[in-house]
Amino acid sequence: MDLTLKVWRQKNREEKGGLETYKVTGISEHASFLEMLDIMNEQLIKEGTEPVAFDYDCREGICGTCSLYINGEAHGPDRKVTTCQLHMRMFKDGETIYIEPWRSAAMPVIKDLIVDRSSFDRIQQSGGFVSVNTSGNTQDANALPIPKMNADLAFDAAACIGCGACVATCKNSSAMLFVAAKVSQFAYLPQGQVEAKQRVLNMVEQMDKEGFGNCTNTGACEVECPKSISIKYIAKMNREFLSASCSSES
């Protein structure tokens, strides 16, 4: 396939960026999207141009590093995949493809297509854990049976890879889906109960501090989420938050 690529280039955090046009030819439809970008970069290196910087690591949809906004969609046109799992068979020969970084005030661009997602880490640090010491003296793992349904719900929430597509896709740049996934994982498990109230209050507070927008329930995040995290978890978090704020006020 032959393609025209319109790629966002930006030198660093401070400088303004813009779209550049590059052409690639002879791309196999079996290549992944990032392999196509490898080929483009290989070409740029040959020409003596600095290659385009983009983020990736596992290239199998689990580390959450890759993060491209392709033709106006987070992680591109395919569903339930990350950018690294996207394959060229989703595109047509001769197509023009727009490639941009995530856009959100809470996730500023560092260079080209790479953004700073440390706000996500800080939200997790504010409460995304169970305060148990790593002493080796915890009770036997099977001492506390957990209904399979709750364990499964917790697991589905825990599958979030922290990629930020939900934020990138939301017109308000809200991080609700990401935060709700973590809050819900613990809310469905007995281990998470002790700190449940403080957790949800702290995490929501940190989310607001980071400058993420409000959730207006458009549901766009769920559609673009590569791990199909459901917005029912946002409802769950809202309930947790309400009950926590009520009881902390009384």
Partner 1 sequence: MSVLDSKIPDGPLKDKWTNHKNKIDLVNPANKRNIDIIVVGTGLAGGSAAASLAEMGYNVKSFCYQDSPRRAHSIAAQGGINAAKNYQNDGDSVYRLFYDTVKGGDYRSREANVHRLAEVSGNIIDQCVAQGVPFGRDYGGLLDNRSFGGVLVSRTFYAKGQTGQQLLLGAYSALNRQIAKGKVTMYNRHEMVELVKVNGKARGIIARNLETGELERHSAHAVVIASGGYGNVFFLSTNAMGSNATAAWKIHKKGAHFANPCYTQIHPTCIPRSGEHQSKLTLMSESLRNDGRIWVPKNIDDVLAIREGTLSPTDLSEDQRDYYLERRYPAFGNLVPRDIASRAAKEICDAGYGVNSTGEAVYLDFSSAIQRYGKQEAAIARLQNPSESDILKLGEGVIESKYGNLFQMYEKIVAEDPYKKPMMIYPAVHYTMGGVWVDYNLMTSVEGCYCIGEANFSDHGANRLGASALMQGLADGYFVLPYTIGNYLSNEIRTGKISTEAAEFVAAEKEVSDRIEKLMNIKGTKSVDHFHKLLGKAMWEYVGMTRNEKGLKKAMAEIKKIRTDFWSDVKIPGDRNSLNRELEKAGRVADFLELGELFAKDALHRNESCGGHFREESVELDGLQKGEAKRNDTDYAYVAAWEYKGEPADAVMHKEELEFNDIELKQRSYK
> Rounded to the nearest whole angstrom, what is the least distance from the CB of residue 97 to partner 1 in the complex?
17
Count of CA atoms in the C-beta half-sphere (13 A) of 170 = 27
Tokens of 47: 């020409």
Judged by CB under 6 A, the chain residues 97 through 116 that form the site for ligand SF4 are none
Q: Rounded to an integer, what distance in angstroms lies between the CA atom of residue 193 and that of residue 243?
A: 13
| Angle at alpha carbon of residue 234, lines to 232 and 237, rounded to 5° | 115
In the complex, the smallest distance separating the C-beta of residue 167 from partner 1, rounded to whole angstroms, is 14
Among 34, 40, 70, 177, binds ligand SF4 (CB under 6 A): 177
Residues 173-232, interacting with ligand FES (CB under 6 A): none
- The pair of three-digit structure tokens given for residue 6, joined into one six-digit string: 């319109």
Q: Which of residues 67-96 bind ligand FES (CB under 6 A)?
A: 82-84
Select from 3-11, 130-138, 190-198, 225-233 the region that touches ligand SF4 (CB under 6 A).
Answer: 225-233
76 binds, among ligand SF4, partner 1, ligand FES, none (CB under 5 to 8 A by kind): none
Total residue count of the chain as it appears in this document:
250
The footprint of ligand SF4 (CB under 6 A) covers: 160-166, 177-178, 181, 225-227, 229
Provide the binding-site residues for ligand FES, judged by CB under 6 A. Answer: 56-59, 61-66, 82-84
